[in-house]
Structure 1
Amino acid sequence: MRSENAMSPGSFRHADGGRVTSLRNAATVDGQLVDVHITGDRVAAVAAAGDGPVGERDLDLSGYLLLEAPAEPHTHLDKALSFDEIRPPLGDLRTAIASWEEYNPRLTVDGIADRARRVALHMLSNGTTAIRSHVNLLPGDAPLRGVQALVRVRAELAAVMDIQLAVLAPYAVDDAAIHAALDLGVDFVGGHPHNTPEPTANLRRLLRIAENRGIGVDMHTDEQLDPEMLTLEQLTHLVRDRPPTRSVTASHCASLGMTRPEVRARVTAAVAAAGIGVVALPITNLYLQGRDHPVATPRGITAVRALLDAGVPVAGGADNVRDPFNPLGRADAFETAMLLVTAAHLTPREAYRAVSTGAREVMGLPAAGPVPGAYADLLAIRASGLEDAIATAPTDRFVLRRGRLVAASRSERSTVTRPPD
């Protein structure tokens, strides 16, 4: 089935943003071998792998698993990779916030943009073709430094990935700064009402701004383990009558995982009825939460299973990547999927769906994947199956965005089984 004319897995001669006509001999999650034919930016057909004519811009994926490309529904590009600059103490959420705020005066537009660009391209090389990033309004006379940096990076990378921006508005910032961020091109209004002196009033204020601007919201919601703090439930009541075109996303929702079963059932039903999408963020929540419980330390993760069972759109995100809120992180959706399996007890298919189809749904993106009619945002990874891909996260990958090959990577490994004679 293989032809010398096809681009082989070892070849990188078309890793230049050029269009790919067909993907040959790709394995699906169901174990089938298929040829995927692409016309323009969409998948035209999927058929059993065969011996048909092979074009010069075809890609031979023998030994590769073909998947819908991941999407990142919640990260912080403005903070990413700042850990080595800040060298913060390791600790809980308050410690991380204090470290970030203390460093704020030294942040520059160019510095933020450089770190953001590097991590966004790292995500792209790992397969992520769409990102939603929150961006802080900063204290002082230049609150828009992060916004200016990320708007710049979004424009620079527009040809290879989609980047959405949500303003993360501190409690003390005035409305004018939020509107200024939106005027620069930020897509969503966001904040962290649960972490303010007046959660309900702050939530209403942010929703009012979004309503006046006619845009969606993405709130940091209940990023703590107090089961009595359920800003999420307040959010359901306040957005029930919003037009469906104005999306509402609640990220974190960690306290929901600590509630009694009857409360959890009530809240998840309300979330489903309100059409709110929820983003689970295992790596940062597991790192930050529960430090004041040295015995039987609780998991800092939302009630993912209950939300899925209630029909809520659920996505999984990486959140912070090597900053005061998480000193680690690989900027890889397979890391998030692995943690959703181990910490949230999802199946591997459910976990990968959360970082791909579920993420795209929450982000309001069109359907993608190896399905006729869908956008050709695709990830091919050298793996024997989905469990193998999530467990080992192989480096060998090809990434397509809208039918163009935008990233390719491979690894080399050598092992000595016995010393030389």
Structure 2
Amino acid sequence: MPDAAQLLTSATLSTGEIADVLIAADGTIAGVGSDLDARSGPAVTRVDLSGRVLLAAAVEPHAHLDKAFLAEVVTNPTGDLIGAIDAMRSSRHLLAVDETIERAERAARLMASNGYRAVRTHADVTAEHGLRSIEALTEVRRRVSDLIDVEIVALCGWPVSGMAGADHRALLRAAIDGGADLVGGCPHLEVIDDSGTIEAATDELLQIAVDLGRGVDLHTDETLDPSSNGLDVLAARVMSGFDLPATASHCVSLGQRTVDAQQETAERVAAAGIHVIALPHTNLFLQGRGTAPMPRALTAVDALRRAGVNVAAGADNLQDPFNPVGRACAFETAGLMIMTSHLLPENAWASVSTNSAMALGLDVGDITNAASTGGLGIGAPADLLAVPAGSVREAIAMGPTDRWVWRAGRRRLVET
């Protein structure tokens, strides 16, 4: 926590307003307004933010830290999703715990220095890989705990249903025992080789979540096939009594349906209280190859937002077989949400900050007046990012490398 209260003066908020932001001695946001300087008194430490945009710190809602920086080691010859999965399967013998720790820690520190307050990372839990990623990422979580919060989703392999899925179900339970926070999996992959159904896989994953008292974050409908209905299945199961936190990531197939069908599903998802994570980087790279006309390969962001769904955005993979590029930078993700989903810059930043924080269940404070505070919730931890720019649009467009980062009110310098 900071040693004394701080007043960040003359900051440009994401709304475009010039305001002061008061950080209390306990490291929380105590006020946002234009008259705080005169009311704060001489004991407050003042920091001049003239010429800088002050933003709520970013949250990465969907990463794969265990795969980060593998692009030069594991290549994806076909460039599609199955090609990436097959490349990882054939290269498991190259991925030891120690080197996974090194890569994942490097990625987490880079995120922290770029202005992320937290990251939710999926960790492969498969018959070929065992619990190596869980062991590596729990150690990374410990090492970077003072810089960035790390939440781990046990990403169960497939099949997960029926007799054939018994080993994966056992591994999933062991992963939670080993330190994972959430239950994850890919129900839509069950149908690839007729090993099961989306419904059966979803039921197994939710039952394990109930048994262990954990929320779920499922890779959902990561396909352009409009008939893939995992999001509808998940919404129905949640409405039938699953009362733990539920998140659906990807949801690409929804973007391939008619406008009316999108809205019907979106309203069910909103009623179920499911968070949806859009992942433009990886979906644009993997999906739609050889298809004409080329699809946009993203979930139906507009329909979901109209229905009241909390839509967050993440970068997914970082320089690996699923996405060979990426900078671990929320400005990059926000820019893609502007280009692919037609979000306004302020909404694009919300998708990588406040919305993502809500998807992870993080404290965002009182955001009832978010329109006047630029999304800086009163009472929330003062996890902030300030960059030289005249507006949030300019910050997203230029991605300035000169970044001032506050964590719980304390300005941090992070070694990457």
TM-score (norm 2): 0.89
Q: Secondary structure of the equivalent of 1:174?
A: helix
2:219 is matched with: 220
CA distance in 2, matches of 1:145, 1:258: 36
2:16 is aligned, of 9, 31, 34, to 31
CA offset at residue 408 of structure 1? Answer: 6.7
1:365 is matched with: 362
When residues 54 and 27 of structure 1 are mapped into structure 2, their CA distance, relative to the original with a 3 A threshold, is farther
CA offset at residue 373 of structure 1? Answer: 1.7
Matched, 1:128 2:116: yes
Which letter maps to 1:83? A
Native 8 Å contact 1:225 1:255 kept in 2: yes
Matched, 1:190 2:184: yes
CA distance in 2, matches of 1:408, 1:158: 12
2:389 is matched with: 383
Native 8 Å contact 1:109 1:146 kept in 2: yes
CA offset at residue 56 of structure 1? Answer: 8.5
Q: Secondary structure of the equivalent of 1:34?
A: strand
Q: Secondary structure of the equivalent of 2:134?
A: helix
When residues 399 and 237 of structure 1 are mapped into structure 2, their CA distance, relative to the original with a 3 A threshold, is same
Matched, 1:73 2:61: yes
2:173 is matched with: 179
1:47 is aligned, of 14, 29, 33, to 33
Native 8 Å contact 1:400 1:407 kept in 2: no
* Structure 1 stretches lacking a partner, 5+ long: 1-15, 410-421
Native 8 Å contact 1:316 1:355 kept in 2: yes
1:240 is matched with: 239
Deviations for 1:185-227, whole angstroms, at most 9, x for unmatched residues? 2111111110113122111111110011111000000001000
1:256 is matched with: 254
When residues 348 and 31 of structure 1 are mapped into structure 2, their CA distance, relative to the original with a 3 A threshold, is closer
Native 8 Å contact 2:187 2:219 kept in 1: yes
Task: Provide the aligned length of Structure 1 versus Structure 2.
Answer: 391
2:155 is aligned, of 155, 168, 179, to 168
Instruction: Write the mapping of 1:61-100 to structure 2, written as runs, cut at 5 A.
Output: 61-89=49-77, 91-100=79-88
1:266 is matched with: 264
Q: Secondary structure of the equivalent of 2:119?
A: strand
Deviations for 1:12-60, whole angstroms, at most 9, x for unmatched residues? xxxx998772322211123333222212120122232647766685432
2:404 is matched with: 398
- RMSD (CA atoms): 2.0
Aligned-pair identity (%): 42
> Higher mean Cα deviation, 94-103 or 217-226?
94-103
Q: Secondary structure of the equivalent of 1:373?
A: coil
CA offset at residue 158 of structure 1? Answer: 1.4
Native 8 Å contact 1:93 1:288 kept in 2: yes
CA distance in 2, matches of 1:276, 1:91: 30
TM-score (norm 1): 0.88
CA distance in 2, matches of 1:54, 1:355: 35
CA offset at residue 349 of structure 1? Answer: 1.4
> Higher mean Cα deviation, 312-321 or 191-200?
191-200
Instruction: Write the mapping of 1:184-333 to structure 2, written as runs, cut at 5 A.
Output: 184-196=178-190, 197-198=195-196, 199-242=198-241, 244=243, 246-293=244-291, 295-333=292-330
CA distance in 2, matches of 1:94, 1:315: 25
1:113 is matched with: 101
